[in-house]
């Protein structure tokens, strides 16, 4: 008899999260809500989730609602997540776009749902590793996320020993980070390569322009199909006609959208679909 109110509270909180951010929590994972919000309940002296829902129903508590939503978001991230995809980015996608953009020597990259910044900084490391190739180029890397807290951490460029060790080689760790007590701080030169902005992919406040590469990894998998369709449409509009979209290793556009199709030789990278040529790439094969 006493379990129902808590179940209702988790369902309401999950609904608020999806309504505000697009991110879904499956009923089988509602336990995450209690775990994520436990520190907030303790901090504010709120006895349980039922009481929290009651407090959040007051429009005056918008700030507490935002804090609750940020804690419920899945912000899992680490450096060079899915290393094979980053290898393809460096060896195939970037050289191809370098050839295509040779006349203007500019490259714009958007990391959508960047979380705490490891993904955007991983891209910056790839480019810096070949900096002699990009010496006279204007490279713009933008990382966006709906959470103000993770954007603040990304901008700080400060990571724990555990975070540094997840996906980062010893070579890159020593080359691009300096130890500060128990933390590691990214090289200011790399920090200057990336701009971080709080932004909702579903409801952007401004027009960011068009990008040559968009990384939207392990984000869309948490959206409902209709919400995912909205996100794909916004990504398609933001991508240059010959640009590339990079999803997570467990994600695909197959049976998800008709706006993108797989590239012929770059697994995990997608291009705008060619009208009338379903499943075929709009791009030529990458450089050999």
Q: pLDDT at position 36, please?
A: 81
Residue 121, C-beta contacts closer than 8 angstroms, at least 6 positions apart: 79, 157, 176, 186, 190, 194
Low-confidence ranges of the chain (pLDDT < 70): 1-6, 74, 274-288
What is the DSSP secondary-structure string of 182-226?
Answer: TEEEE-HHHHTTEEEEE--SSS-SS----EEEEE--SSGGGB-HH
Angle at 192 between CA 191 and CA 194, to 5 degrees: 75
Structure-token pair, residue 187: 């090289």
Q: pLDDT at position 14, please?
A: 83
Class of domain 83-157+187-272: alpha beta
Q: pLDDT at position 197, please?
A: 94
Instruction: Yes or no: say if 22 and 232 are a contact pair by the CB < 8 Å rule.
Output: no
Give residue limits of the domains in the chain. Answer: 3-72, 83-157+187-272
Chain centre distance of CA 98: 23
């Amino acid at each position: 008899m006493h379990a129902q109110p808590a179940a209702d509270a988790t369902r309401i909180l999950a609904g608020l999260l999806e309504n505000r951010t697009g991110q879904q929590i499956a009923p089988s994972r509602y336990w995450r809500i209690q775990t994520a919000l436990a520190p907030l309940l303790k901090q504010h002296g709120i006895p349980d989730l039922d009481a929290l829902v009651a407090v959040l129903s007051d429009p005056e508590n918008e700030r507490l609602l935002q804090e609750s939503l940020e804690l419920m978001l899945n912000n899992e991230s680490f450096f060079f997540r899915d290393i094979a995809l980053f290898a393809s980015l460096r060896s195939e996608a970037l050289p191809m776009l370098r050839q295509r953009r040779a006349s203007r020597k500019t490259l714009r990259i958007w990391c959508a749902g960047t979380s705490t910044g490891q993904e955007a900084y991983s891209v910056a490391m790839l480019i810096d590793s070949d900096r002699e190739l990009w010496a006279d180029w204007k490279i713009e890397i933008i990382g966006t996320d709906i959470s103000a807290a993770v954007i603040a951490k990304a901008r700080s460029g400060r990571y724990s020993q555990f975070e540094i060790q997840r996906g980062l080689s010893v070579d890159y760790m020593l080359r691009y980070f300096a130890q500060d007590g128990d933390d590691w701080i990214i090289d200011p030169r790399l920090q200057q390569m990336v701009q971080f902005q709080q932004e909702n992919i579903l409801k952007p406040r401004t027009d960011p322009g068009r990008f040559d590469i968009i990384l939207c990894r392990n984000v869309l998998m948490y959206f409902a199909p209709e919400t995912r369709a909205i996100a794909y449409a916004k990504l398609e509009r933001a991508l240059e006609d010959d640009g590339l979209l990079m999803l997570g290793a467990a994600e695909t556009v197959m049976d998800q959208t008709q706006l993108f199709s797989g590239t012929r030789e770059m697994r995990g990278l997608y291009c705008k679909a060619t009208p009338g040529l379903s499943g075929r790439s709009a791009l030529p094969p990458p450089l050999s």
